[in-house]
Structure 1
Amino acid sequence: MTSPQGPQASGGPVQGRTRELVLLADRAILHLARHWLLLVNLAVGLYVGLPVLAPVLMHVGHEGAGRFLYTLYIPNCHQLPERSFFLFGKRMAYSLDELPPEAQGPASASSCTDCLRLAWPGVLRAEGQNPPPRRFYYGDERVGYKMAFCQRDFAIYGSILLAGLLYGPLRRRLRPLPLLYYLVLCVPLAVDGMAQLLGLWESTWFNRVLTGVLFGGASVWFAYPQVQAAMDSLRADLEVRLARASQATRPS
């Protein structure tokens, strides 16, 4: 915290290099408070963009770079081809029966080592499961190349990005979505995802996209106005503190 004379430590006024560091930290936090939405949108845009870039790289012949992006997203998504969108093929979505034989393996690898071997067969010798897990089927020229995350993830994070961009001009007029309404909008995703996980039914690409968009859009509507209120309060406090610190440095 600071006093009217500028930043203070618990033992008295902060001076010299320490004072400069405190002021620098305050300015950095103020910049974050002013531009948090831009930074969040950039981060989400990067997170959404890289999985879409993976099939583009595979299509134009940069297989190594494409495989790197698929591997990068292994911890974040199952990457099953029958639940992913494809680019540069006859269709954007395929059922498991419509995919070629090399995409008919088990759902996952048995270990992290197997994951690396299967993701990089030219670098690490591929051993073990045959046919390989279908998450490592990236596509080909016939069916196209899949995105590096599933349809539901694409819908969730894509809608978070779009809603975040729309929130910019609306932030001063939009109130937070009530918690009860938010939970209601989350129910379709929970039901569809759990039913698919338990094998009660196989969800369609339309259901995955619809439930993902509802969840992603509702999450922005619920959270971003609350973050904005917190950042506005923080910004006002920091602006006062920095103004007082600036006045304290002026010659009398």
Structure 2
Amino acid sequence: MMVVTLFVKQGDPAVETVVEMLNRLKDEYPHQLAVVAIDQDEGLRAVYEKDAPVVQVGPYRLGSPFREQDLRVTLGAALDRARHLNAVGDESYSKRVERGRKVSTADRISLWLSNRYMWLINFFIFLYVGLPFLAPVLALNGVQTPARILYTIYSPLCHQLTFRSWFLFGMQPYYPRSLAEVQNLASYEQVFSVPPTDLAFARQFTGMEEIGYGAGRIGFKVALCQRDVAIYASLLAFGLIFSLSGRKIKSLPWYLWLIFGLLPIGLDGFSQLPSLLSFLSELPVFRESTPLLRTMTGVLFGGTTGWYLFPMIEESMRETRTLLSQKRTIVAQIQSEGN
């Protein structure tokens, strides 16, 4: 038997007329009727409000106003299509019909995820940006093996250069290269007495190493660089704002993301790459970014990326919620009528 879905606005007087027409045609075109109110669902309102009440049967849709003859044609076309597909033994059609008559475990999981996906995203971003700060805490307390594991895990994900990373529990929060010209702080070259082009040392040093001046005085390195910390922290901040807003914030236009997010971080990052090469590092045209500038460009990139991306994900999830909520309502009414 066909399933006819009627999408309605609550309190609409036209609904009773459509239901009466469907009841008169039920013997000629056997069907089960499911009525779905669109008022409380933003996705359903966007699709059906303009033409409600709307009759949907199979792939055929009939929006108001319509006559009983229009409804007869629509039901007839759907019935002929169903009989033809059954006659030719279309297995995919049979499976679709079967899936449409029950709410599966996969449906329930998908509906749960579509409602809570942002909190899961926020949780995983929090872990990603939070665990690098756990590494120096563990190192300070002598729990070196877990600390080294964290540094090792994040090593393929971030350059972890000592002169571009934060430090905890030491005499300075960071050790910038002299090329960055940060005032009132000892430079990386002064503290470590190694050339900044020795990238192997700059990556591997964590603060746990025993070197001449004592690791405890320097502190322990955070396992993500300054820019990455800013990127993921701002991504998390926007994710929380977006979640608390009820996921109502509209997506940032792509060109604004390009201008304010991607362009500043690209210019700041790539302009300092030549300074890492020993045979070019002394030339005056090359530069080293400051921790403040790395943080600012990271915040801009992370925040605008979240603003651009999360609302786009919400659009997709809203469609999923609408389809599955609609299916759950229809299945409940069909099963109730069957009982």
TM-score (norm 2): 0.60
Aligned partner (choices 178, 181, 192) of residue 268 of structure 2: 192
Counterpart of 1:119 in structure 2 is: none
Query: What SS class does the counterpart of residue 198 from structure 1 fall into?
Result: helix
1:102–1:134: 8 Å Cα contact kept in structure 2?
Answer: no
Which of residues 157, 161, 184 in structure 2 aligns to 1:76? 157
Instruction: Look up the match of 2:233.
Output: 158
Corresponding residue for 1:149?
A: 224
Rg larger in structure:
2
Match of 2:198 in 1: 106
Corresponding position: 1:232 with 2:318:
yes
Offset of residue 21 of structure 1: 9.7
TM-score by length of 1: 0.80
Could you say if the C-alpha distance between residues 145 and 102 of structure 1 is closer, same or farther in structure 2, counting changes exceeding 3 Å? farther
Structure 2 equivalent of residue 202 of structure 1: 288
Unmatched 5+ residue regions in structure 2?
5-31, 33-90, 177-187, 208-214, 276-285
Task: Give aligned-pair identity as a percent.
Answer: 37
Deviations 1:186-244 (A, max 9, x none): 21100000001133211110110000000000011111112112211210111111222
Counterpart residue type for residue 86 of structure 1: F
Evaluate the alpha carbon distance shift between residue 218 and residue 14 of structure 1 in structure 2; reply closer, same or farther with a 3 A threshold. closer
Q: State whether structure 2 residue 279 is matched by structure 1 residue 211.
A: no
2:243 corresponds in structure 1 to: 168
Distance in 2 between the 1:240 and 1:21 partners? Answer: 12
User: Does 2:148 align with 1:67?
Assistant: yes
Change (3 A) 1:105 1:215: closer
- Rounded Cα–Cα distance in structure 1 between residues aligned with 2:250 and 2:205: 44
By how many angstroms is 1:22 displaced?
A: 6.8
- The equivalent of 2:107 in structure 1 is 26
Report the aligned-residue RMSD.
2.6
CA 1:67–1:172: 2 relative to 1, 3 Å? closer
Match in the other structure for 1:113: none
Amino acid of the structure 2 residue aligned with 1:190: G
- Tell me the residue number matched to 2:332: 246
Question: How far is 1:104 from its partner?
Answer: 6.3
Structure 2 residue 92 is matched with structure 1 residue 10: yes
Contact residue 79 and residue 135 of structure 1 kept, 8 A: yes
Which has the bigger relative contact order, CA under 8 A and spacing at least 6? 1
Q: Report how many aligned residue pairs link the two structures.
A: 223
Among 151, 166, 187, the residue aligned to 1:85: 166
Rounded to whole Å, the distance in 2 between the matches of 1:63 and 1:20 is 57
